[in-house]
């Protein structure tokens, strides 16, 4: 006698199309984004207890405080006796800061193994087995402005096994940027050719499954345009756009996006605490640190005003911190040169410039020279198709500093200002 009635899972709706990450599975109209992965051996189905099922007997056999009510997800082993895996999957298009996914799970035996994985479009990612902890299970999802796929995997399912999952809940700040092809301006983060010095921000969305209205934090409202997706409800967020903004060539937009002299007390289009960063870069508007290892000299090529991005602090060891400055997403139609100045008077800081991933690093800081302060016009080649640039510093010890300035792009050997004439 079957204790539960099983139904096929409803068709999923992608998060980018308004699908929900928070799912209770009780309503076919909740437009859940979770679905069975293509590479799974076994598929989850919807299920609900039959009327004669004894809840007390279930509670006695269940070490976790979990009793699924109404409709839940169920997967059971195959009849052939071969162990298999079941995988729930969703893709988050863009996420501001870290997030947590919570859910309840129960297994008839201790044989199945729970694992969760996150991966990016470039093939990078990682998986981690979940420990035997009480419900709800918590999965931490890192910040990403690129689409990130999240998988809940149940491995080693035998023929006698039954696994239940319910109450998937997403606690995070989801953003979905406007499609470039449908707008007169570029986003992710938004790039516009403008005479105004920009302050860049992605609008935050506070997720609350019990309310229909998102809470939007307009950190700045100069000219950011985004489309917000809040579980099942897509909303256009109309934010003031600078009237001088032009629909421009992607190469010109890339020039604007990668150029920054830090002279206006902000980081232009760069994120000072980028993906993977444990501590932010800082903006210097005056000399910092001591006269031996601090940033105590003007950049002769940018001497009209003191402005730079730096890492390091007096009387604080930050050798375990990772400082990641992240560029906006760009598109270039040909190979280009990315140039930058580096200030280095300390032996320990390790600085590198990476493209698209932390494994593809094209520049590493040189040895310290007693006669060098600002090391000017360092250069790497950005090949056609590059999307991101990361400036990464590690091993910054007490009273040691490193700074960068005059980030810029050259296309066909010409600086951006020349190409825009």
- CA–CA dist 105, 391 (Å, integer): 41
pLDDT beyond 60 at 363? yes
The whole-number average pLDDT for the span 263-270 is 84
- Residue whose pair of structure tokens reads 């400082």 in the numeric block: 323
Confidence at residue 150, expressed as pLDDT on a 0 to 100 scale: 96
pLDDT beyond 90 at 325? yes
- CA–CA dist 401, 285 (Å, integer): 15
Confidence at residue 351, expressed as pLDDT on a 0 to 100 scale: 92
337's tokens: 């040169």
Which overall architecture, per CATH, does domain 249-419 show?
Answer: Sandwich (2.60)
CATH of 4-173, one of 2.60.120.200, 1.10.1040.10, 2.30.40.10, 3.40.1280.10: 2.60.120.200
- CA–CA dist 11, 409 (Å, integer): 45
**Residues 312 and 349: beta-carbon distance below 8 Å:** yes
What's the pLDDT tens digit per position in 125-139? 889 888 777 888 988
Confidence at residue 266, expressed as pLDDT on a 0 to 100 scale: 81
pLDDT beyond 90 at 87? yes
Per-residue pLDDT band for 392 (boundaries 50, 70, 90) equals very high
pLDDT beyond 90 at 174? no
Distances (CA, A) of 316 to 2, 211, 281: 64, 43, 15
pTM of the model: 0.45
pLDDT beyond 50 at 238? no
Confidence at residue 319, expressed as pLDDT on a 0 to 100 scale: 76
Query: Where do the CATH 2.60.120.200 domains begin and end in the chain?
Result: 4-173, 249-419
Which comes out higher in pLDDT, residue 340 or 302? 340
């Amino acid at each position: 006698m079957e204790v539960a009635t099983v139904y096929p899972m409803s068709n999923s709706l992608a998060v980018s199309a308004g699908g929900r990450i928070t799912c209770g599975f009780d309503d076919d109209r909740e437009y859940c984004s979770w679905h069975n992965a293509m590479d799974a051996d076994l598929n989850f189905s919807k299920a609900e207890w039959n009327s004669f099922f004894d809840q007390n007997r279930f509670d006695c056999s269940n070490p976790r405080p979990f009793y699924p009510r109404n409709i839940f997800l169920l997967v059971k082993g195959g009849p052939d006796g071969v162990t298999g895996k079941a995988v729930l999957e969703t893709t988050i298009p863009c996420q501001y800061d870290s997030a947590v996914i919570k859910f309840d799970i129960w297994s008839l035996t201790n044989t199945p193994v729970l694992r969760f994985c996150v991966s990016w479009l470039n093939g990078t990612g990682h998986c981690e087995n979940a420990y035997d902890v009480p419900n709800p299970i918590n999965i931490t999802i890192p910040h990403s402005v690129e689409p990130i796929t999240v998988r809940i995997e149940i491995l080693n399912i035998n023929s006698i096994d039954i696994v239940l999952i319910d109450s998937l809940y997403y606690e995070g700040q989801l953003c979905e940027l406007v499609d470039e092809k449908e707008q007169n301006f570029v986003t992710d983060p938004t790039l516009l050719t403008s005479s105004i010095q920009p302050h860049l921000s992605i609008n935050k969305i506070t997720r609350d499954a019990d309310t229909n209205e998102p809470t939007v934090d307009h950190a700045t409202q100069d000219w950011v345009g985004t489309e917000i997706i809040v579980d099942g409800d897509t909303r256009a967020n109309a934010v003031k756009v600078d009237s001088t903004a032009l629909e421009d060539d992607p190469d010109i937009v890339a020039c604007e996006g990668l150029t920054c002299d830090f002279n206006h007390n902000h980081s232009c289009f760069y994120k000072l605490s980028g993906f993977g960063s444990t501590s932010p870069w800082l903006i210097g508007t005056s000399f910092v640190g001591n006269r031996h290892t601090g940033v105590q000299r003007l950049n002769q090529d940018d001497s009209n005003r003191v402005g730079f991005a730096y890492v390091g602090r007096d009387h604080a060891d930050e050798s375990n911190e990772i400082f990641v400055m992240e560029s906006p997403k760009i598109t270039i139609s040909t190979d280009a040169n990315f140039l930058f100045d580096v200030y280095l008077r300390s032996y320990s800081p390790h600085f590198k410039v990476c493209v698209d991933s932390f494994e593809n690093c094209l520049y590493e800081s040189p040895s310290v020279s007693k006669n060098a302060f600002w090391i000017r016009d360092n250069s790497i080649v950005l090949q056609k198709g590059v999307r991101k640039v990361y400036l990464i510093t590690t091993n910054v010890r007490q009273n040691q500093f490193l700074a960068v300035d005059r980030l810029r792009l050259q296309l066909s050997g010409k600086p951006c200002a020349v190409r825009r004439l």
